[in-house]
Chain A
């Protein structure tokens, strides 16, 4: 089955700086890679996703890059703000969100004011 590894497990950055979280996956057939943000006491919320037919996707301060050859993908948050503090999870699946997602172990991001 699919195995997703995520690094780092914790990350602290100064407000205004950039944050990068990296994930690798094992199943070369995976073709859908979403990122979820989870705030304390809440369920995960999708913030951005990427499909295997593109290498990069951007949405305002958030971007995701995908390297299918190396089987890794990354989340980039620029101009970080205190409200970006949360736990971030990467995930992978074989179809466009319609098969079970295999999640990474999460990254606790803390933005230092």
Chain B
């Protein structure tokens, strides 16, 4: 597609359940990022994938959060045993490899509500 695609766009889940959020980056982009945005707040970095390098997981808030990127393209963010404080918009972004034209583009986000 033309932009970063995320699914589902909205997800309501019960506390304690696991959820998976999917991100399909812009074709050819080697870098992929996950951010979290709580209601009315800024963007909190979660994890960053760059090519075949080990991901930067320094922003993951707990071991209930994990992400993988298969084949250097699609990424899945998994939240296990969801808690109410996990309710937020989860934003995925992608960019080209290092160079001049590697602007970071965001998707529309996955709105997660834990009830």
Check if A and B associate.
yes
Place the interface of chain A in its size category. Answer: 20 to 34
List, in ascending order, chain B residues with CB within 8 A of A101's CB: 33, 43, 45, 104
Interfacial residues of chain B within 59-115, with CB under 8 A of chain A in the complex = 59, 91, 95-100, 102-109
Place the interface of chain B in its size category. Answer: 20 to 34
Q: Is the CB of B105 within 8 A of A89?
A: no
List, in ascending order, chain A residues with CB within 8 A of B35's CB: 103
Roughly how many angstroms separate A49 CA and B103 CA in the complex, as a whole number?
Answer: 9
Main secondary structure of the interface of A (DSSP, over half): loop
List, in ascending order, chain A residues with CB within 8 A of B97's CB: 98
Q: Which residue, of A36, A44, A45, A106, has the highest number of chain B Cβ atoms within 10 A?
A: A44
Q: Is the CB of A46 closer than 8 A to any CB of chain B?
A: yes
Contact of A43 among B56, B91, B100 (CB under 8 A): B91
